[in-house]
Amino acid sequence: MNALVGSLISLLITSVSLIIISKLPTGVEIDTFKKALISALIFGLLNAFVRPILSFFAFPITFITFGLFTVVINAIIFGLAAKLVEGFRLRWGVPSALIGSIALSIVNSLMYKLLGGL
């Protein structure tokens, strides 16, 4: 599969996952599918460019917590995406970011599994 096609499929899956999460009682609110697409794009860019920096500096804490601090890093990335996109809100702040990032991981995994591991 072409890298561009794979990236577009990933963008669509994350967008649909964000819409699903916004319908659940997670404290995550997204106004429209267009906002979900923009959020997924920003989320992908943050994962590509900001996550490696956060992971590098958080390595000692991540090591001490046997990798559990990665959940906090995911929540930080999720919260940054919500802060950067108008129409993507976290109703309860940090708890919504934690719940939303965990829910996004689960929903994304399920969608990839349903689509045959694209």
- Can you give the pLDDT at residue 29? 96
In a domain, 2, yes or no: no
Asked if residue 3 is part of any domain, the answer here is no
Residues 74-89 as b/e (b if ≥16 CB within 10 A, e otherwise) read bbbbbbbbbeebeebb
Give this prediction's pTM.
0.92
Q: Is residue 60 part of a domain?
A: yes
Residue 99 lies in a domain: yes
pLDDT per residue of the chain (118 residues) written in tens, 0 to 9: 688 998 999 999 999 999 999 999 999 999 999 999 999 999 999 999 999 999 999 999 999 999 999 999 999 999 999 999 999 999 999 999 999 999 999 999 999 999 886 6
pLDDT at residue 116 in the model? 80
Confidence at residue 117, expressed as pLDDT on a 0 to 100 scale: 65
Name every residue whose Cβ is closer than 8 Å to that of residue 66 and which is 6 or more positions away in sequence: none
The tally of domains found in the chain comes to 1
Are the CB atoms for 44 and 15 separated by under 8 Å?
no
Residue 76 domain-assigned?
A: yes
90 burial class (0-12, 13-18, 19+ CB within 10 angstroms)? buried
Say what the pLDDT of residue 1 is: 65
CB 17 within 8 A of CB 85: no
Report the alpha-carbon distance of residue 3 to residue 99 in Å, rounded: 30
Residue 4 resides in a domain: no
The answer to the question of residue 110 being in a domain is yes
**Residue 45 belongs to what domain range?**
14-114
Instruction: Please report whether residue 6 resides in a domain.
Output: no
